[in-house]
Structure 1
Amino acid sequence: MKPLIGVLGRLATIDSGAFNGLERVNLTNAYVNAIEKAGGVPIVIPANTNKENIKAQVSAMDGIIISGGDDVNPNIYKEEPFKELGYVNPTLDEFDIEVINVALELDKPIFGICRGLQMLNVALGGSLYQDLKYIKGSHIKHNQETKTYLGTHSIDIKENSILKDIIKGKVLVNSYHHQSIKTLGNNLRVIAYSNDGVIEAVQKEDKKFVVAVQWHPELMVDSCEYMLNLFKAFVDACN
């Protein structure tokens, strides 16, 4: 039986028509495509703050994808908001953290993507750079404006890591972020950097598969075999 992969839904507000102003569950279809291509069954988990429901939802899944989305509220890691901070949604932050905590407690494989990497780090006690301008020496364009399926900058993948087992050659990744990890969360290890020192991937040392990346591999599965293999490795870990 194919593993059930819970993908965290995001929130968006309808801005026209009869339902103008109502919130809706939001998720790009690229996650669905990537999970199905990798052999899993995608299940969208809508954002909510009901802890009992969240535990039931996570318990029913074989693995969890923490998807991309809005900026992370710096109040969580005890910082004031800087002027470069984008839109934050406290409900979404609370939801993500609860899902991560439950998934770790139940030993579910976790795959974090973009914001998902940042939320995993914050949930484990780490902090973020609220904007890349605060990273000394950062010079790469990390918020690309070209096609989403194109990689634009290289990454340095560390030896003896889950990522190195999957991506064995040189690879370019796409990039759509302006925040990044500052202090590392508990039991996380950096397994990839960009060449200007920005953290691009982490794994949790005491778990079989808790991996998060700063780029969007779901947008590249049709153009880069390594990205599809990354999803396959996650789905295999969920079996």
Structure 2
Amino acid sequence: MKPLIAITCSLEDGRIFLNHGYYRAVERAGGIPVVVPPLGREQDLGELLDRVHGLLLAGGPDVDPRHFNESPRPGLGEINPKRDAVELYLCREAVRRRKPVFGICRGIQVINIALGGSVYQDIGSEIEKPLKHRQEAPRWYGSHEVRVEKDSMLYGLIKAETLLVNSFHHQALKDIARPLRPVAFAPDGLVEAVEGISEDAFLLGVQWHPEEMWEVYPEQLELFKSFVEAAARIDE
């Protein structure tokens, strides 16, 4: 049977929504996507994790800096406390259960914060001479390169030391949580991908949006395929 993949979504103005690239990429990779609303009870979220095989943390607004012991700074964008609570719980619990976790854009930040790390609240005001990380180009377009560590899972998937990525973020990882290692970097030094240090559980976060790129850049689909394949092995 195909693995069920829980995908978190945005909550705004009394509605939930998810860009179609996420579920289409999961479907193409061989999984069955299940969109997760911001449920209010941890017990229900736990039961949801009982039933799914993997967790995909989607992009979205900023995470409340109180979750990494900082006060809001100028440049912090919109936050959604309910979504923060849901995703941080799901991430910690999925990692504890050793279920595959894949984080995209906001998702890589949620992974890092959930496991004890922090983020720059606003790249433009906290980093000297940053790259432009909010591209004004089609969403599928790779606007800058990242350098990939050769001893990483990510390198094994894309088979290259450099990778073109799109870029739609104003925050980035700062202090890296201990269960993670950075494996890809932008030319300005910012971390663009992390992996779990444990080899017996799939844990990957990327700062770009592969769900918007895979139809033009086929190597980006390999991230989803590896994630879905790991999820398929959960019941073995």
Structure 2 CA distance, aligned partners of 1:146 and 1:108? 35
Q: What corresponds to 2:212 in structure 1?
A: 219
Q: Does 1:100 align with 2:82?
A: no
Structure 1 CA distance, aligned partners of 2:154 and 2:132? 23
Q: Does 1:196 align with 2:195?
A: no
The alignment's TM-score, normalised by the length of structure 1, stands at: 0.93
Q: What corresponds to 1:158 in structure 2?
A: 149
Work out the percentage of aligned pairs sharing the same amino acid: 39
Q: Deviations over 1:13-54 (max 9, x none)?
A: 1xxxxxxxxx11111111111011111110111112310000
> Is the 1:71–1:86 Cα contact (8 Å) retained in structure 2?
yes
User: 1:134 offset after TM fit, Å?
Assistant: 4.3
> Is the 2:9–2:35 Cα contact (8 Å) retained in structure 1?
yes
Name the SS for the 2:52 alignment partner. Answer: coil
Structure 2 CA distance, aligned partners of 1:25 and 1:132? 28
Letter in 2 for 1:108: K
> Is the 2:148–2:163 Cα contact (8 Å) retained in structure 1?
no
The alignment's TM-score, normalised by the length of structure 2, stands at: 0.94
Q: Does 1:121 align with 2:146?
A: no
Q: Does 1:28 align with 2:57?
A: no
User: 1:83 offset after TM fit, Å?
Assistant: 1.3
Structure 2 CA distance, aligned partners of 1:163 and 1:138? 27
Q: What corresponds to 1:42 in structure 2?
A: 33
Question: Over aligned residues, Cα RMSD in angstroms?
Answer: 1.1
Q: What corresponds to 2:177 in structure 1?
A: 185
Q: What corresponds to 2:165 in structure 1?
A: 173
Structure 1 CA distance, aligned partners of 2:126 and 2:194? 18
> Is the 1:58–1:103 Cα contact (8 Å) retained in structure 2?
yes
Letter in 2 for 1:226: E
Name the SS for the 1:98 alignment partner. Answer: helix
> Is the 1:59–1:106 Cα contact (8 Å) retained in structure 2?
no
User: 1:223 offset after TM fit, Å?
Assistant: 0.6
Name the SS for the 1:104 alignment partner. Answer: helix
Q: Does 1:209 align with 2:205?
A: no
Letter in 2 for 1:212: G
Stretches of structure 1 that go unaligned for 5 or more consecutive residues are: 14-22
Structure 1 segments of 4 or more deviating over 4 A? none
- 1:204/1:134 Cα in 2 relative to 1: closer, same or farther (>3 Å)? farther
User: 1:186 offset after TM fit, Å?
Assistant: 2.2
Q: Deviations over 1:183-231 (max 9, x none)?
A: 0112110000001101000011124210000000000111111111111
Q: Does 1:86 align with 2:80?
A: no
Name the SS for the 1:171 alignment partner. Answer: strand
Q: Does 1:231 align with 2:224?
A: yes
Residue from 39, 63, 67 that aligns with 1:72: 63
Structure 2 CA distance, aligned partners of 1:101 and 1:201? 18
> Is the 2:54–2:100 Cα contact (8 Å) retained in structure 1?
yes
Name the SS for the 1:227 alignment partner. Answer: helix
Structure 2 CA distance, aligned partners of 1:209 and 1:144? 29
Stretches of structure 2 that go unaligned for 5 or more consecutive residues are: none
Name the SS for the 1:145 alignment partner. Answer: coil
Number of positions where the alignment pairs a residue of Structure 1 with one of Structure 2: 230
